[in-house]
Structure 1
């Protein structure tokens, strides 16, 4: 349980899959540099994105990575980036990664296997989103935003866009031509960036992957994470539900709901079909042990499963934790010693409310002071709109030929899956219905997956190859693959993930851990994914854009 939670929080920082890059193979043309790597060190007058390259160094090939030119610099005023340019295997593709949490560090972008046909064929880039986070946990530091509007703008909407402009200029200079195709992939805040790029900068990328998107930024960080922090904090300031109770709680949830999809496999395919009551494992009067929940713990667990509500019972966020996600609460909703004893939800919410959530110069708040009222929800809107990625008007992205893949794990402990389902159904309604929308934007819901492709039964998910095939071959993704690996890296489960609302059904033959033994089926009944909540009027509003 502890290992999985650590991976979940780490994924916020990297927000990119680490994929090996096999040696280049025949069948696809490559582009050799027309300049030396060192020639890139200078200032570039990119409109709206003046770029300074400080270092450019040739890095020898390894067993997993190609020889490449490692470029590091910044876009004015302070958007640091790293761009890696293959010197021998580049095939004309550019891939930019998003970052997680509040960013604050440049995570070395991994070379990716695009499957057409070799890895290492991609120029890759990443950014810190315009500020340097302070340790110990860089991703939850918000103090940089307290009195720095430029840094706020870079994080909210500008950094991914200007790094795209800078990278394309450098690619053009190095190889003598711009990239043939450009891709973006991000999870969590990186997923927010992905949706934001499709909405506000529809010509930046040909293909975009938005994983577990934090698109409802203000309500998510200001309200929902605060709800998680408070739901499990007692009057004495200590956690109510403790880590030793999670295994029993999770086992009870599976016992109640695992069979609902017709297959007992340790995962709940669609938690919406489950009606689990944590009171079923309530401790007898006077008892308290790892196998049961006290009355206070039952109530705290019910709050964690529920969405936050205001003083009249109206939802302040589209969803809550899903049944089946319990083991992933450790480190996020429950404190973990390896993260300083502070739950990630509390750290993010408190930093946001104290330093980022309100216009500079106006009164701020904190987890302790925040009350779940409509007034407080509305106070978050002016600044939240700058970061939100909630617009359903993607007409320009669609007209430009863009392709969008959205994915989310059903057991995500950080960002409720209900929000992504709510957004996607609103998107389909605004774009001609499901069939018309699926011609350019598809959603994939992964059973049992925790935040940013971590988990218990399934631990990996990355639809990059399918996106590339869609953009470059016109082959829409009808099937993607989720994988489960143990601590030694051995695959113990594969499972197909079909475009939502299709579900994977076991065909009755062979191993239930083999994706080959599952077929797509429609849901037993149509789902109503649009949620009536306090943010209903936020979807038609788009935040600012940079030149």
Structure 2
């Protein structure tokens, strides 16, 4: 057993000379001695018996968010409970860098789908950046248990503690504990600053905004990718493809829609001034491309047996694009409209995959039909109807108006936990926070227009007394949005591989927060090696030899939507 005096001495070494190695302090005993037991105002009690410390050396990780790295770290985990709540256990995990790599930083990383963490998809970026890097299990049981598994205590009985933890509270606690653990671990004095950061995409992007909107001074900088904002609207909208197809009376084979996507990419590729397989100006594509031009084009896809146990097989698909298929593609791209012609929501940009309109083959009937295996049907069955089901039985009697009303119902029910659209970020700006917001232009899951709509909601809420240009300039002080040409959902796109993905976003926000170096453009791994800051858009001239970021009012307006189907503001 190491004596208390020796632990204190070791902590001083870690914090000053930093001459010790990972193996010197990567022990449960030392980790226990530096737990964040200070009163942090969280109302939690740490379980000192739960502490573990595991050494990892030369561990290799790969992600589009940071590339491929080999890192050393100490993984410290412990549990805590909320005072006054019975049978409550939350687990947190922190990757701690070697002392000589520590740069007085802490990083939280988020999840995806209904997972509150993404494991190693993001967390190693903290070690790369000289930070302690944390994840949480939200109190759901373990790091692999997702929110949907614990959301209902029984049919019709919501687990509200889990819901608020998933909505925002777990990440607040993770960061608060993590920052203090970092300070204790490396013996950083109270007079020295620990810079704190966050990175996440999709659900992880929403989690980041949940912190910005509620805990203004928690992070110095954040990277939020393709956030699942407007949670009820976004999840319900996953059903829009099937409802549109049902209204038209045609369920196109997936191969037909794939062919329309490929023809759209080919037609709109050069609208940015260079032919490179990337639709970098989907706004110009929306303004000029006519889906009717694809009618009659042949498509072919070989039969598939599904490949996995329980997965459905599909027959050979051989035909030509039909007027009905084009009608589906056009209506889907236009976005969901109600029976009065008013806008309910938006869908992905032209050139994106028609993921939410992709049908499945019914072997019994020999027909194509809506695919109800996704998150949209689960959202309605479980989170609105409160039943332990993963899907709806069918879309019978479900119309666009039904989806609109479901969106409203979900917003009312989860406004204070999951919706995450508070537009006044004045406290965050006043605290000196910086946020880099990225979104793939060809995102087929969360439309890129969703992020632009939130950006404009913030701009209009905070700077309604300024001109457009002045309001953009004011936003630039703390909030910058980048649309990734050809980018898919939280990563690169196999249909437009030249689009790449920005792999140094966290490093960029660190430079901004710590040195005041604001990113005018963002580095990208694709053929377009820099990304333009919204509302500027990419444009090549001189036969594709010169690149500019330009402003185009018509293009910008094509991204602007008014959700007039609702009688309340949709931020």
Q: TM-score range by the shorter chain?
A: 0.7 to 0.9
- The answer as to whether partners of 1:333 and 1:345 remain within 8 angstroms in 2 is no
Between stretches 82-91 and 454-463, larger displacement belongs to 454-463
The residue aligned with 1:59 is 55
Q: Does 1:149 align with 2:154?
A: no
Q: Does 1:196 align with 2:210?
A: yes
Q: Does 1:122 align with 2:131?
A: yes
Structure 1's 482 and 36: CA in aligned 2 closer, same or farther, altered over 3 A? closer
**Where in structure 2 are the equivalents of 1:312-331 lying within 5 Å?**
312-317=340-345, 319-326=346-353, 329=354
Structure 1's 270 and 470: CA in aligned 2 closer, same or farther, altered over 3 A? same
Paired residue secondary structure (2:374)? helix
Paired residue secondary structure (2:251)? coil
1:226 Cα deviation (Å)?
1.6
1:300 Cα deviation (Å)?
2.3
The residue aligned with 1:380 is 410
The residue aligned with 2:113 is 101
The residue aligned with 1:160 is 171
**Where in structure 2 are the equivalents of 1:241-252 lying within 5 Å?**
241-252=252-263
**Where in structure 2 are the equivalents of 1:8-407 lying within 5 Å?**
37-39=27-29, 40-41=31-32, 44=37, 46-48=40-42, 49-52=44-47, 54-62=50-58, 64-76=69-81, 77-88=88-99, 89-103=101-115, 107-108=119-120, 110=122, 112=124, 119=128, 121-131=130-140, 144=152, 147-177=158-188, 180-222=194-236, 224-232=237-245, 240-274=251-285, 275-283=288-296, 290=318, 292-317=320-345, 319-326=346-353, 329=354, 333-334=357-358, 346-357=373-384, 368=395, 370-373=398-401, 374-385=404-415, 386-407=417-438
Structure 1's 483 and 291: CA in aligned 2 closer, same or farther, altered over 3 A? farther
Which of the residues 534, 549, 556 maps onto 1:500?
534
Query: Deviation per CA, 1:258-304, whole angstroms, max 9, x where unpaired?
Result: 2322222222222222233333222399x996563234322322232
Q: Which runs of 5+ in 1 are unaligned?
A: 1-27, 485-492, 541-547
Which of the residues 455, 461, 464 maps onto 2:502?
461
Structure 1's 31 and 101: CA in aligned 2 closer, same or farther, altered over 3 A? farther
- The answer as to whether partners of 1:101 and 1:140 remain within 8 angstroms in 2 is no
Structure 1's 439 and 56: CA in aligned 2 closer, same or farther, altered over 3 A? same
Structure 1's 148 and 392: CA in aligned 2 closer, same or farther, altered over 3 A? same
Query: Deviation per CA, 1:474-529, whole angstroms, max 9, x where unpaired?
Result: 00001112224xxxxxxxx34210211122333537x87xxxx5233333657235
- The answer as to whether partners of 1:134 and 1:141 remain within 8 angstroms in 2 is no
- Aligned pairs, how many? 483
User: 1:29 and 1:411 mapped to 2: Cα distance?
Assistant: 49
Two-structure CA RMSD over aligned residues (Å): 3.8
- The answer as to whether partners of 2:251 and 2:369 remain within 8 angstroms in 1 is no
Paired residue secondary structure (2:243)? helix
Structure 1's 539 and 52: CA in aligned 2 closer, same or farther, altered over 3 A? farther
Which of the residues 466, 470, 473 maps onto 1:435?
473
Q: Which runs of 5+ in 2 are unaligned?
A: 1-15, 60-68, 82-87, 301-315, 362-367, 464-470
Paired residue secondary structure (1:100)? coil
1:67 Cα deviation (Å)?
3.0
1:193 Cα deviation (Å)?
1.1
- TM-score scaled by structure 2? 0.74
The residue aligned with 1:15 is none
Q: Does 1:447 align with 2:485?
A: yes
- The answer as to whether partners of 1:445 and 1:500 remain within 8 angstroms in 2 is yes
User: 1:70 and 1:134 mapped to 2: Cα distance?
Assistant: 13
- TM-score scaled by structure 1? 0.77
